Amino acid sequence: VDIDWEFPNAADRANCTTLMQELRDELPASRWIIAMAIPADPRSWGVGFDVPALAPILDFINVMTYDLYGAW
């Protein structure tokens, strides 16, 4: 299961973590992989995603890097 919660706001931060925990509780790790897509910009993580709380719940965190660009 790969969740892509687009544009969560500060009020959704706890809801996002709660949803992921409820999914993990219902979908056993022995049979299900749970992943979540998050933006690449870490400044946006604190707004809608509690990455330290999500990390132990999820099997994978997919970082959406397609909006990154530069002269490197």
Please identify every residue annotated as catalytic: 6
**Model pTM?**
0.83
User: Who's near 10: CB < 8 A, 6+ residues apart?
Assistant: 47, 48
Sequence spans of domains, the chain:
2-64
- Evaluate whether 39 touches 45 at the Cβ level (below 8 Å): yes
Reply yes or no on whether the pLDDT at 72 is more than 80: no
- What are the tens digits of pLDDT across the range 41-56? 877 777 889 999 999 9
Reply yes or no on whether the pLDDT at 62 is more than 90: yes
Q: Return d(Cα 46, Cα 29) in angstroms, integer.
A: 26
- Strand pairing partners for 9? none
pLDDT-based confidence at residue 25 (cuts at 50, 70, 90): very high
Q: Return d(Cα 70, Cα 48) in angstroms, integer.
A: 25
DSSP 8-state class, residue 27? S
